[in-house]
Structure 1
Amino acid sequence: MTTDRAAIAATVDRLIDEVSGWPHVTTGEHRFGGTEFRVGPREIGHVHGWGMLDIAYLKRLRDVLVDARETGSHHLLTESGWTTEYIESPEEYDHARWLLRLSYLYHVNVLQKTPAGAEEFADVDVESELAAMALTDDIRAAFDRR
């Protein structure tokens, strides 16, 4: 497969532009390079310009996503809740966005259960967004920590 680095970089830029526009998401430079996405004090993931996307989940949710072949284990932290996805073409944008949105919703959901976060993140309707994502029962159960 021939890699079109310019197309990958454009896809990464598109992802950064979209995710940075989600409610309560802040971006910054990641300590290992690339762009980091945060919701409140929590990092939901970071992306490198060459297409490597690392995403933070609860370990149980990460395990279900890896088992379902939605993503892979983190390239270094294989036993953590982190995953690594490689964006190798513009066609992979929607899936990368889906994975990041799931992490975003998971972290917002956790923050909504805190006294400060209940009010701060009340504008994000996690339940309706999850329903629209058409998650498998296994992914939904892992998301809900059941």
Structure 2
Amino acid sequence: MTAEIDALVADVSEWDGVEIGEHRFGGTEFTLGPREIGHVHEWGILDIAFPRRVRDELVAAGRTEPHHIYPESGWTTFHVGDSDDVADARWLLRLSYLSHATAMANTAAGEDALSDLDVDAELDALDPSDELRALL
């Protein structure tokens, strides 16, 4: 893995409720309860799961690309090539994390893992567009 990927994995592994594991196609997978928020391949491809409408907004805004294998899905692909890309990769993963956390809020896994998470404050810090925030 590159230093950039190592830094990203180390950061995301600190998030409440996130489990880190081996991805079935290589690389590192990030899960929140039963949900995969994304995975990063050692060669720098970061695949992130979003609801389809959120994915469409992110792609239209140029923040990420459609998934490299499943372009019609809610998955996106972001390329982490250098240290400047890590902040954008982290932003996308955090947005996916918040989206999944919101969807899980009323489940036992969500309540246990996310009891201290203030989604509104987190979204304020990420400062997504009004269109994107309305979709979350």
Q: Please give the range of the TM-score, normalised by the shorter of the 2 chains.
A: over 0.9
CA distance in 2, matches of 1:119, 1:50: 35
| TM-score (norm: length of structure 2) | 0.95
Identity of aligned residues (%): 52
Count of aligned positions: 135
Once the two structures are TM-superposed, the CA of residue 118 in structure 1 deviates from its matched residue by 5.3
Contact persistence 2:48–2:76 (CA under 8 A): yes
Q: Distance in 1 between matches of 2:19 and 2:121?
A: 23
| 2:85 alignment counterpart | 92
1:89-144: CA deviation from partner (whole Å, max 9, x where unpaired) = 11111000000000001101111033x2453122111111001111111111122x
RMSD: 1.1
User: SS of 1:83's equivalent?
Assistant: strand
**Structure 1 gaps, min length 5:** 1-7
CA distance in 2, matches of 1:65, 1:35: 23
Could you tell me which runs of 5 or more consecutive residues in structure 2 were left unpaired when the two chains were aligned: none
Q: Give the structure 2 partner of residue 132 of structure 1.
A: 125
Match of 1:141 in 2: 134
Q: With structure 1 as the length reference, what TM-score do the two structures score?
A: 0.89
1:1-146 aligned at under 5 Å gives the runs 9-114=2-107, 116-117=108-109, 119-120=111-112, 121-143=114-136
**1:18–1:43: structure 2 CA closer, same or farther, 3 Å change rule?**
same
Question: Which stretches of structure 1, 4 residues or longer, exceed 2 Å deviation after superposition?
Answer: none
